[in-house]
Chains A and B, each alone.
Chain A
């Protein structure tokens, strides 16, 4: 498997614009996680899904952030409107509920977002 795939790798946008980050989890994984990494706050969980259903979105900073998982192989994280303080690296991760590798989260390479 190619692992968790995120796109784009880099995104530069202007304040007020809509930004959409994309994630393709590892095939067969039933959990998907979105994290944000900044120097100030470290690695923070934003939201996670189980079988495409959002389970915990308590980490989503505010209503400008939304996430969807329309099917088992695709998820999006949208920021509308974007602000400079949203600049960060956004990671997607996936994991299995069972089996030998259960509980291990596999991370994508991340999307580096810069909001000017």
Chain B
């Protein structure tokens, strides 16, 4: 079985400060990892993915994530937060040898204060 944990329901950060949204995962084999963002009344939008290769993955809107195999983590980061980054963020995982469907975390609400 595969699972994702997002330990923080909400993260608050001031505009211009760096942000981190945490994610840990569990899969039986090697993982494919994803971050998605959801704005109010919208579907999920893909931000970035880790499949293989460099542990630091860069994605849309200045976001990046670092894959850490020993800690089974895939934290989302951004050096300087914008008010417009305020949204709901989901981490997702699938086993590369398993079914195609993703398992999503419970989501973390990011609130960036002006």
Residues of A within 8 A of B (CB): 4, 31, 33, 42-43, 45, 48, 50, 55-56, 91, 93, 95, 103-110
Which residues of the other chain, B, contact A48 by a CB distance below 8 angstroms?
99-101
Q: Is the CB of A55 within 8 A of B99?
A: yes
| A and B contact pairs by CB, cutoff 8 A, 6 listed | A45-B103, A48-B100, A104-B34, A105-B44, A109-B41, A110-B42
Q: Is the CB of A104 within 8 A of B49?
A: yes
Partner of B43, one of A42, A56, A104, A110: A110
Q: In the complex, what distance in Å separates the CA atom of A20 from the CA atom of B92?
A: 28
Q: In the complex, what distance in Å separates the CA atom of A42 from the CA atom of B36?
A: 14
Q: How many residues of B contact A (CB 8 A)?
A: 22
Q: In the complex, what distance in Å separates the CA atom of A114 from the CA atom of B45?
A: 24
Q: Is the CB of A103 within 8 A of B32?
A: yes
Interface membership of B74, Cβ < 8 A? no
Q: Is the CB of A43 within 8 A of B104?
A: yes
Which residues of the other chain, B, contact A56 by a CB distance below 8 angstroms?
99, 101
Q: Is the CB of B100 within 8 A of A104?
A: no
Q: In the complex, what distance in Å separates the CA atom of A56 from the CA atom of B49?
A: 23
Residues of B within 8 A of A (CB): 32, 34, 36, 41-46, 49, 51, 90, 94, 99-107
Q: Is the CB of A50 within 8 A of B100?
A: yes
Which residues of the other chain, B, contact A109 by a CB distance below 8 angstroms?
41-43
7 nearest A-B pairs in the assembled complex, by CB-CB distance: A107-B43, A43-B104, A107-B44, A42-B106, A45-B101, A109-B43, A104-B46
Q: How distant is B96 from chain A, measured CB to nearest CB, in Å?
A: 9
Q: Is the CB of B43 within 8 A of A55?
A: no
Q: In the complex, what distance in Å separates the CA atom of A93 from the CA atom of B90?
A: 15
Q: In the complex, what distance in Å separates the CA atom of A109 from the CA atom of B37?
A: 13
Q: Is the CB of A95 within 8 A of B44?
A: no
Q: How distant is A23 from chain B, measured CB to nearest CB, in Å?
A: 11
Q: In the complex, what distance in Å separates the CA atom of A42 from the CA atom of B105?
A: 8
